[in-house]
Amino acid sequence: MSMMRELSFFLGLQVRQLERGTYTNHVKYTKELEKKFGMERFSPASSPMSSSIKLDKDEDGQRAVITACRGIIGSLLYLTTNRPDILFVVFDSNFNLISYFDVDYADCKVDKKSTSGTCKFFGDHLYSWYSKKQTSIETSTGEAKYLAAGSYYAQLLWIQQ
């Protein structure tokens, strides 16, 4: 393709071609997100949220703008999951699926709903995690774990397929 310039963007990914290989990244997209949502002033964190913080209802706080929250969440999900096909190319031979889940029974102070969470690894690389408040109120720790385990195993079976 001598009539075209060197490839620099492809399907939203920045492309850099060097002698030792071709590399892709999301640096430009990430910087645009930081500017769009006013995140330039925030400091990086090693985890999404401190495990010692217990959330409670803020009676005096401002209501969140739902469309802005959905925009941030959707953009971050796109950033982290839009190219799963690259996963196979990047990883080495250690392609073992390792997964964990846990439930905090009735931990929400407002509605006493349980929170479940999972994290999944391919080898040593975290590729998926979530934390979600369960939709129903359980009557025991066992029931909360049973409901979370059903969803958890369904996801694992889908991944294995």
Task: Give the pLDDT of residue 1.
Answer: 45
- List the domain boundaries for the chain: 1-42+63-83, 92-161
Q: Is the dihedral of CA 5, 6, 10, 12 positive or negative?
A: negative
Share of the chain above pLDDT 90, in %: 1
What is the residue whose two structure tokens read 């850099």? Answer: 16
Provide the pLDDT for residue 60. Answer: 81
pLDDT attached to residue 95: 66
Pairing relationship of beta strands 115-122 and 125-133 according to DSSP bridges = antiparallel
Q: How far apart are CA 26 and CA 32, in angstroms?
A: 10
* pLDDT confidence of residue 83: 55
Locate 47 and state its tokens.
């985890």
Q: What is the pLDDT of residues 24-48, one digit of tens each?
A: 788 888 888 889 988 888 887 777 6
